[in-house]
Structure 1
Amino acid sequence: MGKKGRETLPYNLPQLQNLIKRDPSSYKDEFRQQYARLQACLQLFNGASTTQADHQTLAELVNFVGHVAPCFPAECQSFPQDLVDLLSAHSQTMDPDLRKTLVQVLILLRNRNLIPSAALLSLCFTLFSVKDKQLRSLLHSHIVNDIKSQNAKGKNNKLNKALQNFMYTMLKDPSDIAARKSLEAMIDLYKKNIWNDAKTVNIIAEACLSPSPKIVATAVNFFLSVNERPDDSDDDEATETVDVNSLKHTLHVSKKKRSQKARMGRALATVKRKQRARNRAENYNFSAIHLLNDPQGFAEKMYSRLKLATNTSALRFELRLQILDLITRLVGIHKLILLPLYDFFVPYLRPQQREVTKILAFAAQASHDLVPPEAGQLLVESIANHFVWNNVASEVVVAGLNALREICSRCPLAMGETLLRSLIDDYKNHRDKGPTMAARSLIALYREMNPELLKKKDRGKSASMALREEKKGGLAAPKLVYGQVKVAKDVEGIELLEEDQDIPPGDDDDFDGWIDEPDNSDGEEAPLLETEDAGDIDVDEIDFDNGEWEIEEMDASDSGEGDDSSNQSDPGDAAENGSDAKSEGDKNEAVADSKSTKMPLAAQKVLTEEDFARIRALRNQRDVEKLTGAGGPKRKRGAEELEGEDSEDENEITDVVNESVITAGIKRKADYEARIASIQAGREGREKFGSKRNKTERSSLTNKVKAKNSKAFMMMIHKRDVKNKAKRSLKEKRRVLTNHVKHAVTIPLRPAPYVNLSAFNTRGSGMSRYQTTASGGQMPAMGGSIKTCYLINLSIQGKTFNVEVDSGSSNLIIPTAGLAGYTSGPDAPTYNTTGKATLQSGSVSQSFAEGSSWTGYIYSDTVTLSGTSISASAPLIGVTSQTQNPKVMSGGTGSTGLWGIAYRSLSSYTTASSSTPATVFEALVAQNPSAIQNNIAFRACPYPYAGSSAMDIGATNNQLTCSTTGVVGYARIPQEAWYTVQVLGIAVNGKFTFLPSGFQTSNAYGQWSIVDTCTSLLYLTNAAWMTLANAVLNSNAIPGLTSYGTDESNPFFHYQMGIRASAGSNINWGALPSLTIDMVMNQSTVVTLTIFGHQYIQLDPVNGYVFTVLPQSSSVNYINLGAAFLNSYYVVFDRDNAQIGFAPGCGCDRANASHPAAFVGVREVSSLAYENGTGTLPFDFYSNNNTLPSSASPRNSITSMSWVVLLMFIITALVN
């Protein structure tokens, strides 16, 4: 290298690194120079504060020396320790990039064996406490890979023992992050079969008792995880298949009966289903659970931790469930005795309990044959009393019976005879399929385990025959005894294999080594069989040692002699035959003795995998024959010999009970995605069926499509079809138009661009853990914070304001600086009037709800929808003072403003010219015509569904609507000010109530009723409220609710307070009355909106269940449809067409068997009588399917008279 190039080397470290690796000796001086520079930087870093440039220089030098250190091992001997000391002293305060570089260099040195493994690994574990996720990921991968390489050729016990001891101390580290990452590294090493010994498992078990919830969750999940092993069930499937052909042949040669064929089909289906279930069985991590040193002590400690966490709510509910799962697995696998555990289960065995199916599965896991019958009976009786009775849903009964079956299969003595027979009699012929199948599975279980507990008619054929044979023989049926253990005397099912391998008589293989003499044509009697030495057969000379030969009695037809030879025998031959008979008897005796002394098959050979597979197939075949009664005499004898034995494959008991076993037989309605997936799966391989439209095949268009789309209109205007359209008569036009209307499809929402803004509940904070389910565990109860509004975010001057969305006003109101009683801070921004704001006019004042009022000034500023690019210059009001509680501006409590979305006529904005400018919403629509339209959709959800609330500007987001009946009812807005509707009638249980004469005559909203998003409750007339309240009382649906009064003496039903029942009340939702409100759609049609009990009785986090319907005062002659009513629907404020749309089954509402969704109907006005209260609805609201009748379907929702009026109007317009 030239002189100039060598002078630049100190400043070009990558080039110097490359040259040193090529020729280390030639550049030794340059290396020493850089190494001395590195030592100086290290001293500077340890002694004084450094800058970012110093960090970068140090990182470059460390990286350089780390790469060339193998070239100068003597000079770099102390280099690794210098880096270790530097990281140990300054890891928490060091620059992240520099720290990562130092760790990477140390890993590089370790890969080149320049630093001991133990020293670096100890440093890596201590660095886990650094709050750097990328660094922790790098350390984790290095620890696992380094320990794996150290144990690649053989177990490095010395290193493993030292590191395991160090990890045990790390689990008690004050830093939860370091302890958890150390635990994750140990778990990863176990899963990779590097540290798969008992010491590792017991260290992880100690982590289950850590005070940190995250460490506990990680350790518990390790024991509950599923082993990731390849599935080899396909290889065994062929060998375990039932011999279907043999069974069909047995049926074929016997007398043909339709019942036998059906029985054979059911038996085959049963056996194949059980085979598939065994093949799908999950392989759980039992190896770790079996390696525990003291499972009894560990289970007791975990139970104590669970009990303490339950009493103090120290751990979240999901983690407590996982701990309970681990405890029950320990009890079930090791057959531990933990009696307090069964008392712990009892309070949670309720249908309304959260995750009750998992708890039922855990209760079954904790059962085994060594559990005392008293403890098992406690679980069984609790489940039977709360799950299996006639006042719960069928799904609950199915879950209860399945849980009882799983518990009794493990602990047979837990079920008494009286309870068992009662359950079977009640549900084996139930009207629903689920309970019937669950009860029959319980019958099948006890047919195998203890048929005496069943009634005679339920025992089945095989069990009844076995009991009958035992009684004939004078033997008492064996009874189950607590603690009895069945000792296996031989390989299970080996008798079937021996029977299958027996050589049948008359087979040609019996004559191997024997010579068959030809018939004697001279009539001389020849011996039957002779050996090759022409000697007579001597039984004593036959060698039985090899276990291959055995002599069997042969029929005359196999001896080679015909019937004639026996008939031609003379009397002398008879004497000879008598002697032959005597010798034949001796031979038979010898054969019998040889069979009795024959060695068992397990002693003759080593059973292979093929033998075990054959045994499984024979056992399956025997099970089918026992179910159907098929099989020849030999098979029947084998079945009788094996009749009294337990068939473990028939009712295979696994240590882990999956939740799907408890819910088996519960068929839920598939959602849209599942139905589409099922349809697509059914179409596979059926390409020749169906239409070819929208398929991928390339094909030409039809002539009709080409003529419609490919030619210009001026080329088509002279066609005969076009001319004939213009020459149509009035009658023909009416016929064509009627046909179009008949086949029209209603599109509820117009496909236009939209902006979706998430809304959230103002009182949702601090309540995220409050949740409950309705009676029967069907669905979460509707409910939430009463007295609340919903918020969205608007951005003004770079600040985000959480404004309440109010459909009863038109102003945008936000606080200004210096507002009295307002909490300032980052969570409560204020409006800066000295910025870009433009003062429009003087002060303005207005009254607000509940006696509050505000005073402020009108400004003009840019308002932006947060999270979007949509903005507009619009007027707003900056509030300077306010009075009364609740304040419009609540500051730090969440609300920082109010956004009114009503019409402009309600606006308080005025200008110098006394004109009313556009509101904020109108300005957003006008200045962003390509982004949004003049429509609003609202989905306001109560607690616990506040996160699903949304506001759709443009009202076209179909994803906001859930599954509906397809009907969207639009109620007309009579006056463009407030969002009002004209209510025609109010019905309770289909009976219309009395409306006062002054109803909707003259009030603050003109003469209409109002739809208000910021009114929390539903306010009805006094008569309608009284009718609904009495119907609720008479339904007896709410326990303890018998009357209501004008004071608080009855806390459950108060005239002003409404229903106040505890959150755990067992409310019969299906018995509560319905509430129907009719609104005007047009001159001849009304929209019917119906809600049910779980929609007007909602759950408040403080007061429990609250009746959200209240009466208006006597001076008010309208009703107010507040948030409690709107929660049941997806509400569309169609400002363009002055109407409000209600979509059923949307919003936050869900439907099932006992909780029908809100309903929307459209019908003719004249079909109902509203005034006298005797009118009835034309269709039933209480059917389970809750579907519209044909007269109210989407295509025929308007009556024929309405269509005639509409057609005449259109025809008149065409003629004109």
Structure 2
Amino acid sequence: MDRHHIPRGALLTSNLPQLQNLIKRDPTGYREEFLQQWNHYESIRKIFQSSPDEQAGQFKGLVSFIAQVAQCYPKETKDFPAQMSTLLLENYATLSPDTRKSLVQNLVMLRNKNVITSIDLLKTLFPLLPRTTSSALRSFIRKTILTDIKTANLRTKNHKLNRAVQAMLFGMLERGMEGEVVGDKGKFKANKNADAAVTKQSADEAMWAVVLAKELWKKGVWTDPRTVQIVALGCFHPITKVQSAALHFFLGSENDEGDSDDEDDDDVDVKGLHHKRDINKKTRSGDKKLIKTLKQAKKKRVKKSSEEVTPNFPALQLLNDPQTFGERLYDNLNRYDKRFSLDHKILMMQLLSRVMGAHKLCVLGFYTYVVKYLVYHQLRIPAILAALAESVHSLTPPDAVTPIVRKLASEFVHPGVGPEVIAAGINAIREVCKRQPWCMEEDLLGDLIEYRKSRDKGVLTAGRGLLQLYREVNPGMLKRRERGKEASMNKDKGLMPLAYGHEAAATGGGIEGLELLEDHWEKMRAEKEGEDGEVEEDGDAGWEGWEEGSEDSDSDSESEGWVNVSDDGDDLVISDSEDEIDKKKAKGKGKKVETEADAVAEDKDMEVDSEEKPQEEEKPVKFSTLATTKILTPADFALLNDLRIKAATEAVEAGGGTATKRKLAALEANKKSQSASGALADGFISEYDILGPRKKAKADYEERMASIAKGREGREKFGSNKGKKKKDAPSSSTNREKKRNKPIMMIMQSGAVRGKKKASLRDKQKKLRAHIDKAKKAGH
């Protein structure tokens, strides 16, 4: 039959792409043809549900066609998305991989055409993640979920979608919380009547819930406390793999198994790649693939070495009820101590210690638990010591930490161990005492600081660090000859450390260096006033109507909303407050009783000084009132830190002592830590702080080659200056240079070589004599 005589309906139904194009142009005109294909789809769908192997290709074609034109006939295709979703969720195991992929792609297409909502799509995709065995399809589903949520929150936060998705993730986690923790081998023991497949599916769902929550937090899409609660719930999941993924989220590391699902391994066998290249067929495409693989491996290796693992400080601060979280974490650690591996227990210790340090919690059972690991031959002991030090803070009872300090001193600091062990022990004690100075005993401190005279550099540095710490925090515990000049002067002035439970802010310490910020703003205000004749307040925009709290208002004037407390004008005499009484009591702690002769000598010296020198009036200490009149922003605190660094630098250049240099180094380190982690996380320490300075390890091949390449920068390339490459006026190569590249067979047939072979003995002697004479003239 001729093509021109075929009926239009038969022609269009046999060519679905052409019909799809025509329907998009004129939906009303081709409605009958669409209904014909829709009826065909309904009949095939019923057959396909009973036997998916039959007519799979035709079914996929019809599904793709209807998904393309579904927005043109919303009334007729209102049940189409639900049918696709039901088919995927109920018959997923019996569908072929191509059919699964086609159905998922068509559902995503319906979402892109706004036929279905994001919630409808995600309700289908979330259950598919733990059931999918294809890595390509799993990667596509994961990428689709993340992209859809990110796009929905691009301009403004889509709270409705976020709450719905977060509820799904909570449900995925809570379905497996009834199981029993077994250990690190991935086993899961649930109720006896539970199905093994259902149990494994719930474990996979929990893992994907944690991974998706972490990805959305990392991309900045979700930064609310509900996201942190999802991952915090994963820390108590019976599956150890889920626990590990959740613990790594708070610790800031990304080396867990969930995040590297679709990524290649970082460790690439370079020698194996070269060997494979040598034995396989040499092709240009193979060379390109090898070069590309080596470049990617090098880039990953450099990135991994340059990145510093910083704790997720914002997530730690958003924890809901951190005290309960810390206690539950300790209960899991203590109860399942025999079931967890050492690496997993160290992860739990690190998170527990950082939560305790960030929120100043007291989980006293942790110090009893960690004592059994404080031996120098314990595996990964630097990480355990770092976690122990991070858990201590100013509100930790000294009685709970003193046995820990004694244990560290008895196990790590004695002549029977190596110098690196002694250095690690003293450094750990210093980090603990830095956070709670009152846990140290005076006799033990005197023995430990004697190690500052050691011949080993690491031990010497550790001993000096401990001595310097107590010169600053509590010089009364040191002998008079060990206190140093500045500490002795402060002690004579009555400047004593605060007692346990007292904070510097509560005793009027304020914000250190705030007067620098106030002086800086006054200088800028004066410059603007000199230029424009007007005074403009920096940072006061949007705060009109709050003049009552400004520092320009007179104290005698009465404004609305303020009440004068005392109008009689009598001076208020304040007796010793409780803080001052505690200070006086703290003076005697850790202080040796001086002899009566020393006290009499000091009194005589004071009398002589008072007679010789006139008493000078003490200069009033300037206190900034800026913190009471202005809300400081993070930019203001960054500027304050820069001003403090500038002032400390000027003090060092003016001839400041070691204390000034240490203050400058501490300020610069604090600024570096804030820029790296984005938060104030200076209370967290690493294993290198425990190990201390060590001898430089031997450089590997890559480090040596990098050092060689760095030394060659800016230097001329090796080689002769002859020829056209290094001349001002380029020229061709010489005949002598061309001889070097001639084949050996051509040289063997040359006249010069033949002449040497045929030369007589007399000719050879003449040439040798001429060569000797020439060498003598040249001075050789």
TM-score > 0.5, shorter chain as reference: yes
**Correspondences of 1:343-382 after superposition (within 5 Å):** 343-382=368-407
Contact 1:423 1:439 in 2 (8 A): yes
Contact 2:514 2:624 in 1 (8 A): no
Of structures 1 and 2, the larger Rg is shown by 1
Asked if 1:438 corresponds to 2:458, the answer is no
Contact 2:206 2:234 in 1 (8 A): no
- Cα deviation, residue 79, structure 1: 0.9
Provide closer, same or farther for how the CA distance between residues 438 and 718 of structure 1 changes in structure 2, counting only shifts above 3 A: farther
Higher mean Cα deviation, 59-68 or 194-203? 194-203
**What are the Cα deviations for residues 150-207 of structure 1, in whole angstroms up to 9, with x where unaligned?**
3344333333333322321111343122221122222222333333222221122111
Structure 2: distance between partners of 1:721 and 1:453: 95
Contact 2:390 2:684 in 1 (8 A): yes
Contact 2:470 2:477 in 1 (8 A): yes
2:613 is matched with none
**Correspondences of 1:987-1002 after superposition (within 5 Å):** none
Matched position secondary structure for 2:336: helix
Structure 2: distance between partners of 1:484 and 1:41: 78
1:78 is matched with 79
1:482 is matched with 500
**Correspondences of 1:75-474 after superposition (within 5 Å):** 75-132=76-133, 133-173=135-175, 174=199, 175=201, 176-225=203-252, 284-311=311-338, 313=339, 315-426=340-451, 428-468=452-492, 470=493
Contact 2:228 2:318 in 1 (8 A): yes
Residue identity matched to 1:17: Q
1:656 is matched with 684
**What are the Cα deviations for residues 568-607 of structure 1, in whole angstroms up to 9, with x where unaligned?**
xxxxxxxxxxxxxxxxxxxxxxxx9xx9999856678887
Residue identity matched to 1:418: D
Contact 1:398 1:665 in 2 (8 A): no
Matched position secondary structure for 1:26: coil
- Cα deviation, residue 329, structure 1: 0.8
Provide closer, same or farther for how the CA distance between residues 613 and 134 of structure 1 changes in structure 2, counting only shifts above 3 A: closer
**What are the Cα deviations for residues 1153-1191 of structure 1, in whole angstroms up to 9, with x where unaligned?**
xxxxxxxxxxxxxxxxxxxxxxxxxxxxxxxxxxxxxxx
Residue identity matched to 2:18: Q
1:685 is matched with 713
Contact 1:717 1:723 in 2 (8 A): no
Contact 2:405 2:439 in 1 (8 A): yes
Tell me the TM-score normalised to structure 1 length: 0.43
Contact 1:125 1:170 in 2 (8 A): no
- Cα deviation, residue 43, structure 1: 0.6
1:21 is matched with 24
Matched position secondary structure for 2:174: coil
- Cα deviation, residue 215, structure 1: 1.2
Structure 1: distance between partners of 2:759 and 2:352: 84
Provide closer, same or farther for how the CA distance between residues 83 and 497 of structure 1 changes in structure 2, counting only shifts above 3 A: closer
**What are the Cα deviations for residues 750-772 of structure 1, in whole angstroms up to 9, with x where unaligned?**
xxxxxxxxxxxxxxxxxxxxxxx
Structure 2: distance between partners of 1:443 and 1:601: 36
**What are the Cα deviations for residues 1096-1124 of structure 1, in whole angstroms up to 9, with x where unaligned?**
xxxxxxxxxxxxxxxxxxxxxxxxxxxxx
2:695 is matched with 667
2:749 is matched with 714
**Correspondences of 1:729-768 after superposition (within 5 Å):** none
Provide closer, same or farther for how the CA distance between residues 214 and 597 of structure 1 changes in structure 2, counting only shifts above 3 A: closer
- Cα deviation, residue 40, structure 1: 0.9
Contact 1:462 1:626 in 2 (8 A): no
Structure 1: distance between partners of 2:457 and 2:764: 60
- Cα deviation, residue 139, structure 1: 2.4
Contact 1:342 1:375 in 2 (8 A): yes
Residue identity matched to 1:494: L
Structure 1: distance between partners of 2:403 and 2:621: 50
2:600 is matched with none
Contact 2:470 2:478 in 1 (8 A): yes
Matched position secondary structure for 2:685: coil
**Correspondences of 1:792-941 after superposition (within 5 Å):** none
Structure 1: distance between partners of 2:474 and 2:622: 35
Structure 1: distance between partners of 2:709 and 2:23: 65
**Correspondences of 1:1074-1085 after superposition (within 5 Å):** none
CA RMSD of aligned residues (A): 4.3
Provide closer, same or farther for how the CA distance between residues 119 and 482 of structure 1 changes in structure 2, counting only shifts above 3 A: same
Structure 1: distance between partners of 2:760 and 2:211: 81
Structure 2: distance between partners of 1:144 and 1:372: 46
Contact 2:52 2:94 in 1 (8 A): no
Contact 1:127 1:178 in 2 (8 A): no
Richer in strand (by share): 1
Matched position secondary structure for 1:147: helix
- Cα deviation, residue 96, structure 1: 1.7
Residue identity matched to 1:28: R
Structure 1: distance between partners of 2:370 and 2:416: 22
1:66 is matched with 67
Residue identity matched to 1:144: L
Matched position secondary structure for 1:630: coil
Contact 2:357 2:393 in 1 (8 A): yes
- Cα deviation, residue 467, structure 1: 2.5
Structure 2: distance between partners of 1:675 and 1:178: 43
1:1106 is matched with none
**Correspondences of 1:477-626 after superposition (within 5 Å):** 477-487=495-505, 488-496=508-516, 600=625, 615-616=640-641, 619-620=644-645, 623=648
Richer in helix (by share): 2
**What are the Cα deviations for residues 288-323 of structure 1, in whole angstroms up to 9, with x where unaligned?**
111222111111111121223322x2x333222222
Structure 2: distance between partners of 1:722 and 1:439: 83
- Cα deviation, residue 422, structure 1: 1.6
1:36 is matched with 39
Tell me the TM-score normalised to structure 2 length: 0.65
Structure 2: distance between partners of 1:630 and 1:414: 35
Residue identity matched to 1:492: E
Structure 2: distance between partners of 1:439 and 1:651: 22
Provide closer, same or farther for how the CA distance between residues 287 and 497 of structure 1 changes in structure 2, counting only shifts above 3 A: closer
Structure 1: distance between partners of 2:27 and 2:41: 18
Provide closer, same or farther for how the CA distance between residues 646 and 491 of structure 1 changes in structure 2, counting only shifts above 3 A: farther
**What are the Cα deviations for residues 1074-1111 of structure 1, in whole angstroms up to 9, with x where unaligned?**
xxxxxxxxxxxxxxxxxxxxxxxxxxxxxxxxxxxxxx
Unaligned residue ranges in structure 2 (runs of 5+): 176-198, 255-305, 524-528, 534-550, 555-616, 671-680, 769-780
- Cα deviation, residue 402, structure 1: 2.4
Matched position secondary structure for 2:30: helix
Structure 2: distance between partners of 1:288 and 1:224: 10
Structure 1: distance between partners of 2:687 and 2:247: 18
Structure 2: distance between partners of 1:381 and 1:726: 95
Residue identity matched to 2:487: A
Name the % identity.
34
Contact 2:252 2:309 in 1 (8 A): no
Unaligned residue ranges in structure 1 (runs of 5+): 228-278, 504-508, 514-543, 548-591, 733-1216
Residue identity matched to 1:462: E
**What are the Cα deviations for residues 1118-1156 of structure 1, in whole angstroms up to 9, with x where unaligned?**
xxxxxxxxxxxxxxxxxxxxxxxxxxxxxxxxxxxxxxx
Structure 1: distance between partners of 2:84 and 2:97: 15
Structure 2: distance between partners of 1:648 and 1:676: 32
**What are the Cα deviations for residues 598-656 of structure 1, in whole angstroms up to 9, with x where unaligned?**
9856678887888756654554466568779837xxxx9xx99x99x999749968232
Structure 1: distance between partners of 2:623 and 2:453: 52
Contact 1:368 1:410 in 2 (8 A): yes
